[in-house]
Amino acid sequence: MQFAWAAWKFLVAIKDGMVLIAMLLFFGALYALLSSQPNSGAIRDGALLLDLNGVIVEEPAAPTFEDFLAGNSDGSPREYRLRDVVHAIDATVEDDRVKAIVLDLSRFAGGGQTSLTDIGEALARAKKAGKPIYAFSSFYSDDSYQLAAHATQIWMDPMGGIIFAGPGGNRLYYKGLIDRLGVTANIYRVGTYKSAVEPYMRADQSPAAREASEALYSVLWDSWLAEVKKNRPQAIAKPFAKDPAAFITAAGGDYASVAMKQKLVDKLGDKTIFDRFVAEQVGTDETPSPDSFQSIDYDDFVAAHPVDRKGSAIGVITVAGEIVGGKTGPGMAASGRIAELIYTALDENEIKALVVRVDSPGGSAFASEEIRLALLEARKKKLPIVVSMGDVAASGGYWVATAGDHIFAEPDTITGSIGVFAVLPSFEKALAKWGVTTDGVQTTPLSGEPNFVGGFSEDLNDILQAGVEDSYGDFVKLVAAARGKTPAQVDTIGQGRVWDGGTARQLGLIDGFGGMTDALAEAAKRAGLAEGDYHPQYLDPEARLSWLPFGGIPFVRQEIAPVTGVIGWTAQRQKASFGQALVTAQGLLAREDVQALCLECGVKVHRNRNASAGWIEQLLGYSFSAVPR
């Protein structure tokens, strides 16, 4: 009895401890939630502080539990939504409390060239309205200087420097490593310029890919130089970028001296001196430190200036990030989630038109088609659809754009890349070195395929290549129908080649230049709405924490992806075969008794939800059990 009583007390103690921990986590999370909310009532006269500690994105990824508890107080990089930054800068024009705008770019990690141009244009509007802009950084590179060029004064730490690298650079090629390891990259593609698979099939860049890259990067670099020259004409940026070593060597390695002589910056001073200067312009903060200026918090300012809700609603759906199947995200353009948002908006019948904001390099062709089909439902309801391309809208991103009645892009937008591919590895050469071979009985040419140990059969290779070619044909037909061209014309400008926005307009892949403002105006015009009598209604919900019981979205369950075609079937079977082989190897060491096990029965694959599963199953995320098939 004493043992039972002691065991009971021990169990009760464990239960009480777990309840206490759960309560502490709950109240800690509640405190973090309340303390992290923007306070729109805290705004006072001063400078709007854009301390851009992170990157500019079209759609921030959903925060994790750790992100929520940290509340960005640890200084970790964050993602700034492009439209929020632009709206905040534009809101300063009519807000007399804002005496200046301060750009602290010391920890700025950059963004797409088109996105930075949008922010730069907003800064130019604010400066024209009489808002001085002061930029500071300990070091400037391409992205940070693209914004700083719009400043009234550019400051730099005297121990800092400036380097302009320009677009382009080297990428890794794995062909030599793959051959040395004995891995076979089974590649199926259509498109002379579809270079995404080249790292697995070549040791260097193909002439076709080099031609496309040189043309694209040349346009982007010229555009960057032109923007800097327009907004800071005194800066001698191009000669410095062309031969930085000569300038820096001549200055004896004094980076700050070079920056001043080339008129790239106006003032040298550390952060304390800079803050003191700004305080003289906008007022000193009430805190004891004499170096701090009166600042307006960015998040508070965004909260205090919500988007105008007057007039009719024009729906805005965002397709940002790699296009994948399922309902994950934000941060990934999950077709299931995006399609559901579109269908919900159509059922509610509140929107008069739809703007599709695309900032994606593409991804799954099946998922891209799922989004396109959802957009076609809007067309069936006679809703105008206008596409607005961001930094990149290529491949699957362009696939989605074919559903639009009108396509806007910027001159620096990267688009096109009309081409498809698939890559599946096999290991026959590597395993043969260790004496691992395959043998068995086939009832059809595809029995046991894909054979990642013995190599893919010619039948399977022919089937997969034919499927990829058919997908390319579908892509070409979609573009041809959407852009009023013949498939032969589209094939000529397709072949996986990427284009800058300017060339894309000449080729007829887009209809005109413009950003979100232009896309909304075009959508309103097509919907018959009066000028100014509309507002954007963003269909993508604000990113919420998945673990919250109040208002949060549920955890995303790990599930086996649905088979989306022959390539998907092949990849899924390959993963199962690979897992079966690993489990068989694991069983060599794990089994300690006489076995009554059916070798011919095969395995059933299911997502691993068993904490006691083997280490291989845990690693793969799958469990394997023998069943007849």
Give the tens place of pLDDT for each residue, 377-423.
Answer: 999 999 999 999 999 999 999 999 999 999 999 999 999 999 988 88
CB atoms within 10 A of CB 141: 16
Closest to 174 measured CA to CA, from 425, 469, 369: 425
The reported pLDDT for the residue numbered 9 is 66
Is 194 designated active site? yes
More confident residue, 50 or 430: 50
Domain segments of the chain as ranges? 1-34, 37-168+209-304, 312-538, 566-626
Q: What is the predicted pLDDT for the residue at 221? A: 96
Identify the CATH homologous superfamily for domain 37-168+209-304: 2-enoyl-CoA Hydratase; Chain A, domain 1 (3.90.226.10)
In angstroms, the CA 513 to CA 501 distance is 8
pLDDT band at 593 (very low <50, low <70, confident <90, very high): very low
Least confident of 30-39, 97-106, 115-124, 505-514: 30-39
CA distance 132 to 150: 10
| Span 118-147, average pLDDT | 96
Helix boundaries (H) for 484-538: 487-493, 501-507, 516-526
Summarised one tens digit per residue, pLDDT across range 67-123 is: 555 555 455 688 999 999 999 999 999 999 999 999 999 999 999 999 999 999 999
| Predicted local confidence at residue 120, as pLDDT | 97
pLDDT value of residue 272: 93
Q: What is the pLDDT of residue 430?
A: 84
Residue 563 has pLDDT above 70, yes or no: no
The single residue of 194, 352, 364, 368 carrying the catalytic annotation is 194
CB 393 within 8 A of CB 412: no
pLDDT tens sequence across 357-371: 999 999 999 999 999
**Per-residue pLDDT at 611:** 41
Annotated active-site residue 144? The verdict is no
Please give the pLDDT value at position 597: 44
3-state secondary structure 556-602: CCCCCCCCCCHHHHHHHHHHHHHHHHHHHHHHHHHCCCCCCCCHHHC
pLDDT range class, residue 540, cuts 50, 70, 90: confident
pLDDT band of residue 549 (cuts 50, 70, 90) is very low
Question: Among 448-457, 505-514, 574-583, which is the least confidently predicted range?
Answer: 574-583
Euclidean distance between CA atoms 231 and 358, whole angstroms? 28
Q: How far is residue 274's CA from residue 397's CA, in Å, rounded to a whole number? A: 43
- The pLDDT of 463-484, averaged and rounded, is 93
pLDDT at 554: 38
Whether residue 589 has pLDDT greater than 60: no
> What pLDDT digit, counting tens, does each position of 175-232 carry?
998 889 888 888 888 888 888 888 888 999 999 989 999 999 999 999 999 999 999 9
> Across residues 132-154, what is the average pLDDT?
96
* Arithmetic mean of pLDDT over the chain: 83
Task: Give pLDDT tens digits for 289-345.
Answer: 656 899 999 999 999 999 888 899 999 999 999 999 988 878 889 999 999 999 999
For the residues 346-352, what does the mean pLDDT come to? 90
Mean pLDDT of 498-512: 96
Residues in the chain, total: 629
1-5, 99-103, 538-542, 614-618: least confident range: 614-618
The 3-state secondary structure of 259-304, one letter per residue = HHHCCCCCEECCHHHHHHHHHHHHCECCCCCCCCECEECHHHHHHH
Domain 312-538: which CATH class?
A: alpha beta
Kindly name the residue from 388, 395, 471, 577 that is annotated as catalytic: 395
Q: Can 37-168+209-304 and 312-538 be said to share one CATH topology?
A: yes
